[in-house]
Chains A and B, each alone.
Chain A
Amino acid sequence: MSTTAEPTPTTPGAGTGVWLHGVVAGDTPPAPAGITGIAGTPVRTVAAAGLAAVVSDAPLTEYGEEALRRNLEDLAWLERAARAHHAVVDVLSRAGAVVPARLATVHRDDGRVARVLVERHDELAGTLARLTGREEWGVKGYAVPGATPRADEPAGAGGGAGAAYLRRRKAQLTAREEGQRIAADAAAAVHTALAGYAVTARRHAPQDRRLSGAPTPMVLNGAYLVDRDRLDGFAALVRELGDRHPEIRLEPTGPWPPYSFVAEPSAEPAWA
């Protein structure tokens, strides 16, 4: 399961790459038990400079450059890879701080992985320190149509059926814009309040309904890094904000590995 006890890192044979799941602290952390890596291969660690990369071997026939390019176009393959990668990162995050790697980070051999740990040691160690004792929670907000005002058709206006249609249409559009504005304002207020409680916060682009599966638009897709010993207060705040803003429905998800908090804030697009 783990190769950390070996004095020198193993190097997979030709035709095999090393898939990086994430980086954790420590020279000899145990590899996570009871879980397999990207290709159903064992999860192991490569240690260097006081850090450990958690990796699994990836056959290049499926995870090489050409193969990856092809496979990433296949949603079923992508789902399997994303879930396998996430499962490892998730287990790591429950055991301690982890810097998750973006999907499809593949190195030629363990030596190359070790070099990354050395070259980016300060950044990785700093990020791990910042994440220790904290976890990411997502809070999504959906517009609640019933809570938005609806313009009634103006009564007694002249003009033919065409004019009436246009008036009705205009009223509908105005009501929709108004509803969206109200939902957007509520989303901003909720995010500001949650960000004030969290250690750090990010506001991501809302998911499309085709992805969210929700009947109404998502207006808030927030991520919040919260101290583990302050989670109760965060949960209470989410409930309180939900009560205070009936115009949006709040849905928390988590805990997540800190995917949203491994990059410096300055690298992110600025949100209101």
Chain B
Amino acid sequence: MTVGRTPSVVQNSGQVLPAGHEPANLGDILERVLDRGIVIAGDIRVSLLDIELLTLKLRLVIASVDTARQIGIDWWEHDPWLSSRARPPVEPGPRDPEEVEASRRPRAAARAEREERDEYDG
């Protein structure tokens, strides 16, 4: 879903901002038309909050939760848009310590795997 054409890339060596190019990156367009722009209550009421693709998949793709959290940015934790809908409800956990430990292990493994994948400098 990423479109390769980038209208202008200023590397550190730099070049002039070209005018009049249409930004064609789909991700850039989606984050703007879905997340910004004026909100006017239309007659057709479709809450974007109810769209699974947007909340669970696309929204998480747009807002890089992992990256942001790693560099200490966590405002979305307080963003009702994200925190109330995008995260699965917390189930009451098992109380037995061994069960807690057992349930934690796969998650820790998944986390380690994710970190492995996320490394960009290793």
Interface residues, chain A, with chain B CB atoms under 8 Å away: 17, 20, 22-23, 60, 63-65, 68-69, 72-75, 78-79, 82-83, 85-86, 89-90, 99-108, 112, 116, 120, 124, 127, 137-138, 143, 145, 148, 150, 172-173, 175-177, 179-181, 183-184, 204-213, 215-219, 231, 234-235, 238-239, 242-243, 246, 249-257, 259-260, 262-263, 269-271
Contacts and interface: CB of A to CB of B under 8 A. Distances in A.
Given A75-B1, A75-B53, A207-B62, A235 B32 contact: no
Interface in B52-99: 52-54, 58, 60-68, 70-73, 75-76, 78-79
B46 A249 contact: no
B121 A103 contact: no
Interface residues of B, number: 70
Q: Which 5 A-B pairs have the closest CB atoms?
A: A239-B14, A213-B2, A208-B64, A106-B44, A235-B17
Interface in B1-44: 1-2, 4, 6-17, 19-20, 22-23, 25-40, 42-44
Contact of A211 (B15, B27, B120): B27
Interface of B: 1-2, 4, 6-17, 19-20, 22-23, 25-40, 42-46, 48, 50-54, 58, 60-68, 70-73, 75-76, 78-79, 115, 118-122
Contacts of B121: 145, 148, 150, 172, 175-176, 179
